[in-house]
Amino acid sequence: MKNKTFLITGVSSGLGKAFAEGALGAGHTVIGTVRKPEAAGAFEALAPGRAHAVILDVTRFDAVVSTASEIARKHGAIDVLVNNAGYGQEGILEESSMDDLRRQFETNVFAPVAMIKAVLPGMRERRSGRIVNVTSMGGFITLPGISYYCGSKFALEGISEALGKEVRPLGIFVTALAPGQFRTDWAGRSMERAPRTISDYDAIMDPIRTARQTKNGNQPGDPAKAAQALLALVESESPPTRLFLGGDALKLVGDKIESMKTEIATWQKTSLSTDFA
């Protein structure tokens, strides 16, 4: 694959770090966003001259625009945008605040869109580019206790799919990259957890929260292998609209598809009854 310039958000840990390391290992140039100055030096040390850190809070949308302009001035065209930065909000919906919801969507939905809008004009002018939005299997299947997170990833999935139809005629590909459970800090220090306040939800939420904390650090997904999947995706001449990563994701997605087929068939008569005769 021809050497490309990647812009990856959130490269200081987790999948973002693995994606950056994989791209750098393949000889590409990576501009990576970090939130803290100390993380910038550590990232650039991975590949001096090809790893370039940018300090950016992706939820500061005005700063996203100016930062993208500065990146273009310093490093030229962005070939691949990977919207990776995000986090999980765990909590029963009734126990979670509207501020929790706002922060979740600002980071997981609004920030990726802001990055896309900042980078897309250049891709459009060049009639080439790849946009990879890191969603989640939780953008297709749902689990109790992460309703805000699933909602944000469903939103990003929908935006990704519609955007892909808008820009494909312009030579730009958009893929939603949907991981299952990977061995990162997503379920650990990176996750925000709403306090428990309503005992009616104890039976459903307490075992879920305990199991997630217990399993943290033992998830089946390997971030380094996810990075290789990303590189294969970027190299493909016909990348998919969405790519699920991990056997757990494929199993849960497959189960949901079958459930949806059954439910649609069961309610088909009612669905069809709403058309004009």
Residues involved in catalysis:
149
Q: How confident is the model at residue 222 (pLDDT cuts 50, 70, 90)?
A: very high
Q: What whole-number distance in Å separates Cα of residue 110 and Cα of residue 39?
A: 24
Strand pairing category for 172-179 and 242-245 = parallel
pLDDT at 212 over 90: no
User: What is residue 215's predicted lDDT score, i.e. its pLDDT?
Assistant: 83
pLDDT digits 0-9 by tens, 223-272: 999 999 999 999 999 999 999 999 999 999 999 999 999 999 999 999 99
User: What is residue 1's predicted lDDT score, i.e. its pLDDT?
Assistant: 63
**DSSP type of residue 170:** G
Within 10 angstroms of residue 224's Cβ, the number of other Cβ atoms is 12
DSSP per position, 96-153: S-HHHHHHHHIIIIIHHHHHHHHHHHHHHHHT-EEEEEE--GGGTS--TTBHHHHHHH
pLDDT at 70 over 80: yes
CA angle 142, 213, 257 (to 5 degrees): 20
- Cβ-contact 30, 230 below 8 angstroms: no
Global pTM reads: 0.95
User: What is residue 218's predicted lDDT score, i.e. its pLDDT?
Assistant: 84
Q: How confident is the model at residue 22 (pLDDT cuts 50, 70, 90)?
A: very high
Q: How confident is the model at residue 6 (pLDDT cuts 50, 70, 90)?
A: very high
pLDDT digits 0-9 by tens, 78-120: 999 999 999 999 999 999 999 999 999 999 999 999 999 999 9
